[in-house]
């Protein structure tokens, strides 16, 4: 599976750990940055990642910042993106099952690496249920 991943300075360390974890499991990753803990503006990485998912270069995306709010708000400006902030495994499962989320947003300042790995695994391995949820997802687009 092809994934895109990006983080701001607050999420840099967690991003690097997830890249290592996911690479060892056979995922193909495109890293949109950032590449250090130096302060930067999260839209500079969130927009390119969202575009990569929107245009099919990646199947799913992972965005990380301190609270996950900034990257989620930015990514969700893209018509084909359904970015979900997930801080628990069950929220990640529901984001995929019911909302067909295609970008996972992780709050680096509020979850451990172990929790991030469990949430990411759940997000990547949970399928959209379709059915009654399909019409709701179709109504999301403006």
Q: Return the active site residues.
A: 65, 98
Question: Which of 127, 125, 3, 23 has the alpha carbon at shortest distance from 64?
Answer: 3
- CB-based contacts of 4, cutoff 8 Å, min separation 6: 29, 30, 32, 49, 52, 53, 57, 58, 60, 61, 62
In sequence order, what are the residues at sequence separation of 6 or more whose Cβ sits closer than 8 angstroms to the Cβ of residue 51? 78
């Amino acid at each position: 599976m092809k994934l895109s991943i990006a983080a701001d300075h607050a999420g840099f360390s967690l991003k690097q750990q997830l890249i290592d974890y996911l690479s060892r499991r056979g995922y193909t990753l495109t890293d949109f940055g950032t590449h250090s803990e130096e302060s930067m503006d999260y839209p500079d990485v969130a927009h390119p990642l969202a575009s990569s998912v929107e245009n099919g270069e990646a199947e799913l995306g992972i965005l990380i910042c301190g609270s996950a709010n900034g990257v989620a708000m930015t990514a969700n400006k893209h018509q084909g993106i359904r970015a979900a902030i997930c801080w628990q495994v069950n929220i990640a499962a529901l984001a995929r099952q019911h909302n067909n989320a295609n970008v996972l947003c992780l709050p680096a300042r509020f979850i451990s690496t172990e929790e991030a790995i469990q949430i990411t695994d759940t997000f990547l391995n949970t399928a959209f249920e379709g059915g009654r949820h399909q019409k709701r997802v179709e109504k999301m687009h403006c």
